Amino acid sequence: MTGDLFIDLCLIIILATVICGFMRLLKQPLLIGYLLTGIIASFFGIVPSGESLNLFSHIGVALLLFVIGLSLNPKIIRELSKPSLITGVGQFVISTILGYIVCIYFGFTAITSLYIAVALSFSSTIVAMKILSDKKDTETLYGYLSTGYLIIQDLIVIVILMIITSLSSGVGIINIAFETILKGIGLLGILFLIGIYILPKITELVAKSQEYLLLFSLGWCFALSVLFYYMNFSIETGALIAGITLSLSPFRYEISSKMKPIRDFFIILFFIAIGSQITLGSINQYLTIILSLSILILFIKPLIIISILGFLGYARRTSFLTGATCGNISEFSIIMIALGISRGILPQEMLSVITIIGFITIGGSSYFMLYSNQLYSYLSKYLKIFERKNRRIDAKHRYKESDYEIILFGYNRIGYDILKSLKKLKKKYLVVDYNPVIIRKLIRESIDCRYGDANDYELLDDLRLSEVKMVISTIPDYDTNAVLIKKIRETNKDAIIIVVSHNIDQAMDLYEIGATYVITPHLLGGHHASMMIEEYGFDMKKFLKEKLNHIEDLNRRRELGHNKPKHERR
């Protein structure tokens, strides 16, 4: 028996490796590969026994929610902006109402319609954050907004999971209110007090051994899972709360990094188990509702986000890019449906229906997110109806509508040094950056600046590039710099254009397109060191003086948040 289970697991992992390799080539989330693996494994009969796979699945879900909980630091939640709260709650409520109407129209019962509508209202935090990270857009305004409303939705999930557990026990509405609200709030209150005042001190002692830190984290996760199970809640809720309480620990990043490989293994088995339960033969009768709900999620949910942000006063570009991140269902959606089926709330075939919707929406929205900038260039003129031009709250700036001699795209790191030189030149300059935090800082320092993205053609048209004498881009993204150079050269042949590249071949291409000079940071570092050696020789005093100046500069940069040496778009 043990040997058969081991062989089946080996075959499944090998199959998942092959299928997910194709998903990577297609730039699709691996989640789709896991679900496909389950379908194929079920077809060839290599799925382990239901009991064994279900056990692995429960562990995977618990670990997934635990790691997500680690990122839901209450301090971060407290700092969430009002637009994130309005957008997250507003999208959830409106999507639930529309989903409910669609399900009722197709003949589902009220409770089934409500359950499905709620489950499908959530968007995938994992997929959105992965693509935002790949695009280096986590620090953009739309990145902040997307992260904010996704966190709000994750918080709503905590409440929903607790209510699902209470409903499954078959008690009346008064008991549900008592069990869920009173007992739940009391339990959460006690655990958060432990998380604030006790756990950080414990983890500080435990972290002296990295191996024991991992063991302690697992133990805390499963301890709260068991506690919540015996308190008539779900083990999944317990794992999520365990992660949130540990998120206040200064070692949460170490815990998260150590937990992810374990989580990934078990979560693969969870989604493979989900895929193996899909019965394609019964899909035909649900084909219409699958297509209808997929359209609702892929297109209507983003329009809801765009409409809310437009009403709040954001530009149509910011609203569109934020909306593009929500056109899918969440891993929570599949988890909720699976819980609903296991507790007798939903019929078994709903798992197949929702999983197929997951295939369509996660796959489709991934391409929408990856190519959102290109899509916006085509749809921009049709999105004007969502923009309130007189209330552009995302257009924070400090500048006059005048002719600037120099425009600097990107303030952080390299731009910081360049800006010091621009001040000495005493020329009229403007700083353009896509990070709202940086723009607010520049405004406080009375530096002429403007929020914007170098990929935005409308912004470039508005900057009067035909009249500038110098344009400097500290953005290391080749495509962005290529667009910027071509746009400038269309109307300004004499402007000095300085850009950044981390790749020699791309630097040569940028020269061919029309760049005046290409900064290659990784080569300049060695060049600077060689110049010091030539100039200072064996003079220790000069090197020590250079050292002190460098330390002073590094401390200043650390205060400004330049501490992480990652290749960014800005």
Domain CATH for 51: 1.20.1530.20
What is the model's pLDDT at position 569? 45
Q: Is the same domain home to 425 and 334?
A: no
What is the model's pLDDT at position 307? 93
CB atoms under 10 Å from CB of 528, counted, come to 9
Q: Is residue 569 part of a domain?
A: no
Q: Is residue 567 part of a domain?
A: no
Q: Is residue 570 part of a domain?
A: no
Domain that holds residue 27: 2-386
Q: Is the same domain home to 170 and 62?
A: yes
Q: Is the same domain home to 408 and 262?
A: no
Q: Is the same domain home to 378 and 422?
A: no
Q: Is residue 242 part of a domain?
A: yes
Q: Is residue 391 part of a domain?
A: no
CA distance 9 to 268: 11
What is the model's pLDDT at position 374? 84
Strands 406-409 and 397-398: unpaired
Q: Is residue 371 part of a domain?
A: yes
Last residue of a domain, one of 352, 386, 420: 386
Question: If you write DSSP's letter for every residue of 225-290 in order, what string do you get?
Answer: HHHHHHTTS-HHHHHHHHHHHHTTSTTHHHHHHHHHHHHHHHHHHHHHHHHHT--GGGSGGGHHHH
| Residue that has been written with the tokens 């200043």 in this structure | 556
Q: Is the same domain home to 431 and 371?
A: no
Q: Is the same domain home to 260 and 331?
A: yes
The strands making up 470-473's β-sheet, listed across from edge to edge, are 397-398, 449-451, 429-433, 406-409, 470-473, 496-500, 517-519
Q: Is the same domain home to 404 and 340?
A: no
Contacts of 22 (CB under 8 A, 6+ apart): 33
Q: Is residue 530 part of a domain?
A: yes
CATH number at residue 408: 3.40.50.720
What is the model's pLDDT at position 93? 94
State which H helix or E strand residue 159 sits in: helix 141-168
What is the model's pLDDT at position 394? 54
Q: Is the same domain home to 174 and 213?
A: yes
Q: Is the same domain home to 444 and 467?
A: yes
Last residue of a domain, one of 386, 409, 430: 386
Last residue of a domain, one of 327, 354, 386: 386
Q: Is the same domain home to 342 and 420?
A: no
Q: Percent helix, strand, coil in the chain (nearest 5)?
A: 70, 5, 25
Instruction: Give how many domains the chain has, as a whole number.
Output: 2
Whether the predicted model's global pTM rises above the 0.85 cut: no
What is the model's pLDDT at position 529? 73
Q: Is the same domain home to 462 and 368?
A: no
Q: Is the same domain home to 439 and 306?
A: no
Name the amino acid, one letter, at 549.
Answer: N
Question: If you write DSSP's letter for every residue of 354-399 in order, what string do you get?
Answer: HHHHHHHHHHHHHHHHHTHHHHHHHHGGGGGGG--GGG-TT--EE-
Per residue of the chain (570 residues), give pLDDT as tens: 455 777 878 888 888 899 989 888 887 777 778 878 877 887 777 766 656 666 777 787 788 778 877 876 666 555 556 788 889 999 999 999 999 999 999 988 898 899 999 999 999 877 787 778 777 777 777 887 888 888 888 778 777 876 666 554 444 445 555 555 666 677 778 887 888 888 888 888 888 888 898 899 999 999 998 988 887 777 777 888 888 888 878 888 788 888 878 877 887 777 777 777 666 666 778 889 999 999 999 999 999 999 998 888 888 888 999 999 999 998 778 878 888 887 777 888 888 888 889 888 888 888 888 888 888 888 888 888 887 765 555 555 555 656 788 899 988 767 777 887 887 777 888 888 887 778 878 888 888 888 888 877 777 887 888 888 999 998 888 888 998 999 899 889 889 998 888 888 888 899 988 999 888 877 676 666 777 777 777 788 887 887 888 777 777 766 655 555 444 444
Strands (E), 491-539: 496-500, 517-519
What is the model's pLDDT at position 566? 44
Q: Torsions phi, psi of 431, nearest 5?
A: -100, 130
Q: Is residue 320 part of a domain?
A: yes
